Amino acid sequence: MSGLFEGKRILVTGGTGSLGQVLTRRLLSGSDGTPESVTVFSRDEAKQHHMRLDFMQRCTATDEVIFENSRQALRFIIGDVRDYASVVRAAQHADIVFAAAALKQVPSCEYYPWEASRTNIGGAENLVRAIAENRLPVETVVGISTDKACKPVNVMGMTKAIQERVYIDGNLRAPDTRFIAARYGNVLASRGSVVPLFLDQIAAGGPVTITTAEMTRFLLTLEDAVDTIFAAVRSASPGETYIPKCPSAKMTDLARFLIGDKDIEMVITGIRPGEKIHEILLSEEEATRTIAGHEGYFALRPMLPELAGPVAEPALVGDYSSAGALMTPEALAAFLAEKIPEVVGESYLEA
């Protein structure tokens, strides 16, 4: 376990995002082995600059930090997963690739479906093609997916569902590389997620907006997400998708907890474009291909017969839905206090 990433050259696409930064920090901590290098690949130079300074514990910098970049374990490359040539350049010296680059905001993807397709599908295709056509010595590619890819009703989920299939097919096109995926639900307190939205609304005096009173979501932290990704790297077979067993809650219960004793109103605004009432991490149809993975996870076997293998005893029956095992308000409060104490301990949440 300790040597999982020992001496590895690691590439993180979309590495300046919320997940990418936590993933990078975990990799550099050496908790699972010390990598030779971790390279962040993204198209946002401003985010890269701030991330570089943050990891160097610097407030300001001059040009020497760019020069020193080539000598550090943490490195940065400006590029875009939509551009095949820049993907080849970034991946040519990688042993492991964490493919986290994505357009992930549900409403934005509804209004710009082609842009979502170019990043979420085209980016995956560029990575598979780069490895296959150039015979790059990449050992493992981990595609970062979402619960919205299961029975998708929105563009973000549809593109992520196809992205999963592109990576699965990569095992046939580049058989020396293991292509796997990690699929998980709503990440607590990540950029663009519901907790920061609720907190901003509470800080402004309300109202807190809920799209529908029945809405439920799976809940996990960024650290839980990274745990799922690392479990997949450690144990997943080619073409498998790792899925965590995680709790879920009603969004009204989450809002009430964050509001606390404050006199702040909750307002029902109606379903947003492409939004589901309940999320599903595994569908009834996928259940027949689902086995018990590493402890605490399901492993979804690929559909392609060249990769699937027999599934004698499926580990799941029916949908694995966020409506299926909801936490009580009391359990949710305990869960949040354990998982995000830095949020629930803030003074503006206290009575």
Beta partners for residue 98, in sequence order: 12, 142
Residues comprising the chain, all counted: 351
**What residue spans of 80-121 are helical by DSSP H?**
84-91, 106-111, 113-120
d(CA 164, CA 173): 15
Query: Residues 23, 99: contact at Cβ < 8 Å?
Result: no
Using DSSP's 3-state secondary structure scheme, residue 312 falls into coil
d(CA 105, CA 186): 12
Pull the structure tokens for residue 213: 């009173």
Beta partners for residue 77, in sequence order: 41
Residue 29, Cβ neighbours under 10 Å: how many? 9
End-to-end Cα separation, the chain, in angstroms: 43
d(CA 146, CA 315): 20
d(CA 38, CA 253): 39
**Known catalytic residue at 148:** yes
> Among residues 8, 47, 104, 148, which one is catalytic?
148
Query: Residues 281, 185: contact at Cβ < 8 Å?
Result: yes
The residues assigned a catalytic role are 148
